[in-house]
Amino acid sequence: MRIDSPAALAEYAAALKARKHAPVKLLVSMGTCGIAAGTGEVLKAINDYIAEHKLDGAFDVIEVGCMGLCYAEPVIMLTDDKGKRIIYGDVTPHQIPAIMQAGLEAPATGTHTIDRCWYYPEDESPAEGELQARIVLRNTGRINPEDIDQYVAEGGYSALAKVVTSMKPQEVIDVISASNLRGRGGAGFPTGKKWSFAAAQPEGEKFIICNADEGDPGAFMDRAVLEGDPNAVLEAMAIGGYAIGAHNGVIYIRAEYPLAVKRLENAIAQAEEKGFLGKNIFGSGFDFKLEIKFGAGAFVCGEETALIHSIEGQRGEPTFKPPFPAIQGLWKRPTVVNNVETYACIAAIIRKGADWFKGLGTAGSPGTKVFALAGKISKVGLAEVPMGMTLRQIIYEIGGGIKDGREFKAVQTGGPSGGCITKKNLDLQIDYEALKSIGSMMGSGGMIVMDEDDCMVNIAKFFLDFTADESCGKCTPCRVGNRRMLELLNKITSGEGNMEILEKLKTLSATIKDTALCGLGQTAPNPVLSTLANFEDEYLAHVKDHRCPAGVCANLIQFNVTDKCVGCGLCAKRCPVGAISGEKKMKHVINQAKCIKCGACFGACKFHAIAKI
């Protein structure tokens, strides 16, 4: 059925809303994380229970994307016709009968329910006492991403209908500019300004691109949106195309996201069938076509000029700017490149207005930001919060604090391009300028939390190893400089470091930052520079004392048997190289020359008689 006018869309959406529904909606989290955790088996148990007990009219079972509660997968949510909701986590198939009975009667006791701090409000503005607000994730985990009707019923494509039938292109750009929506891919460049640059170019072929090449370690925000609400991106790209005068769009996505690709392809086909994409959209005369291009997982292709070269079939390498893509991009034509999260804000801004959007967040960074919480945090998952939220609120109130009661040490924001933030900045209100002021950056929104057991020198080495491996090799500072930095860090963590090496590391970091060609190379030294600034004592312990305070760097660790040893012999049995000897019921000894620092003895000892120094 093709919908050819805003009035027809409104009538169709109203009819969808008025459809008879079962008394209870049962949402099943079927994003990548949920499927990997076994939600498929849970879904089968639900359907089997409904069939066995002939409950076809009692439940609407809806397969949704990620609810953001990755730490508790498999997750399901029950909502009754009065709006009462309950979320269950760590669900197993054998729990399904009790949960289904709870849906028919009252919430079951003894089942793992999710606490409020991960419980999103339905509205796009936070309710009183709520920390989170849903703009980007407004439909993710709430609707079936493979059924376009569910998106339409929630107001989907009404923003596009409004734009192409009642607004001029410049009026659209003016609204986005007035909202001060900043690019959520990392740099925070104003979206309206980027669109205005492309719109100002002479008439002719133009392009609009979605950068879905999410490559930061620990980041999965874009994947969740594409798997849970792909139509939000399609609608926004069509709006952007109308605003700048582009009739063709490209979604550049990494091939490692097969579920996101499948749901995007399905969404595009359904949108074309409804007339939301293709020729003469809503009878306006505006044509817009979308295609998907696959990336091979090269991190550098997250940089817009490298991404454009990859789409063109060239090697994914960045080029000097200017000219910027908005002036000369894909096939040398004006091109707008925004990331998934940026596009996911567009339709809501058009529907509710720039002032509404600016009512959330801070003056310089309005709106919300989605963070992917990972690392040593109790509640791994997604959090969407208004800009200006403090790190302490995100980590402790939303993320549940540090796992196993350990002490917070640092958090890495901005992925490998960002920096480590320490406990002294836990009360910093997060926005673009605030993070930049302390030597980090927003990035795409990955947030990796570290505890007292992490070695910050080793953390810097981890991120530098990633960026050195992902360098495209085009410019010498990045290709060679990052390798030399990695070699210096390897010497420090292996016990061969000295003060001269430490000084070389500082000088090389500054040189690469000033001379590399693109953002990847220019920001590659950030983890080194930020850990040096905040944890210089750990570097000094490595190079002066040849000691790793966190006990992580293997060559700087020594395991010794203490007087707590009762001679049980378990450590000797677990040692893979036979480095431990001793008589039964007598204190054992570790041969340091043979010890390979694997830690098997440390983990095996039930009497805490192995000391790691």
Q: Tens digit of pLDDT for each residue in 247-266?
A: 999 999 999 999 999 999 99
Contacts of 131 (CB under 8 A, 6+ apart): 117, 383, 385, 389, 393, 397, 398
Residue 104 has pLDDT above 50, yes or no: yes
State how far the Cα of 244 lies from the Cα of 63, in Å rounded to an integer: 36
Question: pLDDT of 46-101, one tens digit each?
Answer: 999 999 999 988 999 999 999 999 999 999 988 877 767 788 888 999 989 988 88
Q: What does the block give as tokens for 397? A: 């109130």
**Using CA atoms, how far apart are residues 220 and 216, in angstroms rounded to an integer?**
8
Q: Are strands 335-339 and 289-295 parallel, antiparallel or unpaired?
A: unpaired
CATH classification for the domain delimited by 148-356, as one of 3.30.1330.60, 3.40.50.11540, 2.40.50.140, 3.40.50.10490: 3.40.50.11540
pLDDT of amino acid 472:
87
Residue with more model confidence, 121 or 154 = 154
**Cβ neighbours around 163 below 10 Å, total:** 27
> What does DSSP assign to residue 397?
I
Strand partners, 366: 361
Confidence category of residue 105, pLDDT binned at 50, 70, 90 = confident
pLDDT of residue 110: 41
The answer to whether residues 324 and 345 touch, using CB atoms and an 8 Å cutoff, is no
Using DSSP's 3-state secondary structure scheme, residue 508 falls into helix
For residue 535, what pLDDT band results from cuts at 50, 70 and 90?
A: very high
393-411 per-residue burial string, b: 16 or more CB within 10 A, e: under 16? bbbbebbbbbbeeeebbbb
- Alpha-carbon distance 595 to 557, whole Å? 10
Q: Among 363, 425, 405, which Cα is nearest to 388's?
A: 363
Alpha-carbon distance of 403 to 398, in angstroms, equals 13
Which uninterrupted H or E stretch holds 523?
A: helix 519-523
pLDDT of residue 444: 80
Q: What is the pLDDT of residue 106?
A: 56
Residue 129: what pLDDT?
55
Asked if 132 contacts 387 with a C-beta cutoff of 8 angstroms, the reply is no
pLDDT of residue 50: 95
CA separation for the pair 118, 103 (Å, rounded): 21
pTM over 0.85: yes
**What architecture (CATH level 2) is domain 456-544?**
Up-down Bundle (1.20)
> Between residues 179 and 443, which one has the greater pLDDT?
179
Tell the CATH topology of 18-118. Answer: Glutaredoxin (3.40.30)
Its sign, for the CA torsion 361, 363, 365, 367, is positive
* 558-612 maps to CATH 3.40.30.10: no
471-486 pLDDT, tens digit each = 888 899 999 999 999 9
User: In whole angstroms, what is the distance from residue 177 CA to residue 235 CA?
Assistant: 18
Give the pLDDT confidence of 336-371 residue by residue, as tens digits: 999 999 999 999 999 999 999 999 999 999 999 999
455-470 per-position pLDDT tens digit: 999 999 999 999 898 8
CB 335 within 8 A of CB 204: no
Cα three-residue angle 328-333-339, rounded to 5 degrees: 75
Query: One-letter amino acid identity for 516?
Result: A
Q: Are 287 and 60 in contact (CB under 8 A)?
A: no
End-to-end alpha-carbon separation of the chain, Å?
Answer: 70
- Return the SS3 of 339: strand
pLDDT beyond 60 at 118: no
Query: What token pair was written down for 574?
Result: 């677990």
Q: Which CATH number is correct for 368-451, 3.40.50.1000, 3.30.470.10, 3.10.20.600, 3.90.550.10?
A: 3.10.20.600
Are 449 and 403 in contact, with CB atoms under 8 Å apart?
no
Close Cβ partners of 130 (under 8 Å, ≥ 6 residues apart): 120, 121
For residue 588, is pLDDT > 50?
yes
Biggest CA-to-CA distance, the chain: 89
| pLDDT score recorded for residue 46 | 96
Sorted by sequence, the CB contacts under 8 Å of residue 128 that are 6+ apart come out as: none
Question: In Å, what is the CA distance from 371 to each residue of 136, 327, 368, 385, 430?
Answer: 11, 31, 10, 8, 11
DSSP 386: E
Give pLDDT, residue 149.
Answer: 97
pLDDT of residue 491: 95
**3-state SS class at 372:** strand
Are 253 and 294 within 8 A, CB to CB? yes
Q: Please give the mean pLDDT across all residues of the chain.
A: 91
What is the mean pLDDT of the segment spanning 189-206?
96
| Residue entry with tokens 């378990």 | 570
CA–CA separation, 284 vs 267, rounded Å?
22
Q: How many CB atoms lie within 10 A of CB 545?
A: 10
Inter-residue contact 208 to 465 (CB < 8 Å): no
Q: Residue 517 in contact with residue 475, Cβ under 8 Å?
A: yes
In degrees and rounded to multiples of 5, residue 486 shows phi and psi of -65, -40
**113 vs 415: CA distance, rounded Å:** 32
Place of tokens 């061969």: 496
- Residue 395 has a pLDDT of 95
pLDDT over 90, % of the chain: 73
Q: How confident is the model at residue 208 (pLDDT cuts 50, 70, 90)?
A: very high
Q: Evaluate if residue 120 carries a pLDDT over 60.
A: no
pLDDT for the residue 107:
45
Distance CA 323, CA 335 (A): 11
- Tell me how far CA of residue 132 lies from CA of 185, 225, 311, 605, in angstroms: 20, 16, 36, 44
Identify the burial level of 173 via C-beta atoms within 10 angstroms of its C-beta, where 0-12 means exposed, 13-18 middle and 19 or more buried.
buried
* Mean pLDDT value of segment 371-385: 94
Task: Examine the pLDDT at 539 and tell me if it is beyond 90.
Answer: yes
- What local confidence, expressed as pLDDT, does residue 555 receive? 86
Over its C-alpha atoms, the chain yields an Rg (Å, rounded) of 27
Residue 600 pLDDT: 92
Give domain limits for the chain.
Answer: 18-118, 148-356, 368-451, 456-544, 558-612
pLDDT per residue over 278-308, tens digit each?
Answer: 999 999 999 999 999 999 888 888 889 999 9
Reply yes or no on whether the pLDDT at 558 is more than 90: no
CA gap 198, 217 in Å, rounded: 32
CA distances for 267 relative to 79, 89, 242, 594, angstroms? 25, 28, 19, 60
